[in-house]
């Protein structure tokens, strides 16, 4: 088997000194806008695998979060003595005290707290419910987009206070190394439309949380055939994704 791999890393950063996501909840607001556009950040593991349910998920955006906690209160002769965090621990105390002649029991107190907040960033990998050329899937080691010709696109997006890094990794696996030019054109052109859409939506979301700051993009791109030498992407193939 021969695997072609093309990797394009786009770093969004401030033109002047300072971070592009330095205000409170900037990264969460960016995640929310991407979610509203059908681009959903998830962890590398996504056990439910139900991508279609994500647009209605309450784990994105600004909404209410409900926290429920249980407290286990130990009583002696019907009066509160002390409390513990786990029911198993409460049972141990009660059994031990009763064995020593006390009249002990425990009760459960449930506490519910509700507050509105920007929901935390869920992960660094994308799945998509928006209209794209490929099929978004969570099968395999990491979430990715698969195309009819076998090309696969892995999209990772990491945000810090200082910058945001969008990484496209495109792979194409073939039995034998033949028609090299056709395969190289495939890993450039097949996912290009989706890559451009993703880059554009992300850039718009970053600009929205930086209305007065200029954001610049730094691109690092290379292609390799596993077991062979690497080579830099041509400016023309980079422009397919970065051009307006």
Q: In this model, does residue 104 exceed pLDDT 70? A: yes
What is the model's pLDDT at position 159? Answer: 94
Pairing relation of β-strands 39-42 and 230-232? Answer: unpaired
What is the model's pLDDT at position 164? Answer: 95
Is the four-CA dihedral 58, 63, 67, 68 of positive or negative sign? Answer: negative
pLDDT tens column, 75-85: 999 999 999 99
Lowest mean pLDDT among 6-10, 54-58, 104-108, 177-181: 177-181
Contact 82, 97 (CB under 8 A): no
What is the distance between the alpha carbons of residues 168 and 10, in angstroms, rounded to a whole number?
Answer: 8
Q: In this model, does residue 186 exceed pLDDT 90? A: no
Contact 34, 121 (CB under 8 A): no
The structural domains of the chain, with segments of one domain joined by +, span 2-61+120-242, 65-117
Q: What are phi and psi of 68, to 5 degrees?
A: -115, 130
68 vs 2: which has the higher pLDDT: 68
Residue ranges of alpha helices (H) inside the chain are 26-36, 87-99, 180-189, 192-208, 235-242
pLDDT tens column, 167-178: 999 998 877 666
49 vs 165: which has the higher pLDDT: 165
Q: What Cα–Cα distance (Å) separates residue 11 from each residue in 32, 101, 157, 158?
A: 20, 69, 10, 10
What is the distance between the alpha carbons of residues 188 and 182, in angstroms, rounded to a whole number?
Answer: 10
pTM: 0.77
What number of helices (H) and strands (E) belong to the chain? 5, 12
What is the distance between the alpha carbons of residues 46 and 123, in angstroms, rounded to a whole number?
Answer: 10
- The DSSP string of 40-94 is EEE-S--TT--GGGGGG-TTSSEEEEEEEEEEEEEEETTEEEEEES-HHHHHHHH
pLDDT tens column, 15-30: 776 678 888 999 999 9
Q: In the chain, what percentage of residues exceed pLDDT 90? A: 62
What is the distance between the alpha carbons of residues 193 and 183, in angstroms, rounded to a whole number?
Answer: 17
> What kind and span of H or E run contains 231?
strand 230-232
What is the model's pLDDT at position 187? Answer: 87
Average pLDDT over the chain, rounded to an integer: 88
């Amino acid at each position: 088997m021969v695997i072609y791999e093309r990797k394009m890393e786009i770093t969004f950063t401030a033109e002047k000194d300072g971070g592009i996501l330095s205000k409170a909840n900037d990264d969460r607001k960016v995640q929310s806008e991407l979610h509203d556009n059908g681009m959903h950040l998830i962890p590398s593991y996504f056990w439910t695998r139900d991508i279609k349910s994500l647009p209605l998920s309450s784990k994105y955006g600004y909404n209410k979060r409900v926290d429920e906690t249980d407290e286990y209160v130990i009583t002696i002769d019907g009066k509160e003595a002390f409390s513990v965090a786990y029911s198993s621990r409460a049972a141990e105390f009660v059994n031990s005290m009763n064995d020593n002649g006390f009249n002990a029991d425990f009760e459960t107190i449930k506490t519910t707290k509700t507050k509105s907040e920007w929901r935390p960033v869920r992960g660094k990998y994308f799945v998509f419910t928006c209209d794209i050329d490929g099929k978004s899937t969570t099968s395999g080691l990491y979430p990715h987009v698969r195309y009819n010709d076998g090309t696969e696109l892995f999209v990772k997006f990491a945000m810090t206070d200082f910058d945001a890094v969008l990484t496209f990794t495109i792979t194409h696996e073939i039995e034998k190394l033949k028609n090299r030019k056709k395969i190289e054109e495939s890993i450039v052109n097949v996912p290009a439309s989706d890559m451009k859409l993703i880059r554009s939506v992300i850039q718009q979301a970053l600009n929205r949380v930086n209305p007065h700051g200029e954001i610049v993009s730094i691109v690092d791109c290379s292609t390799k055939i596993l077991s062979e030498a690497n080579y830099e992407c041509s400016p023309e193939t980079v422009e397919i994704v970065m051009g307006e």
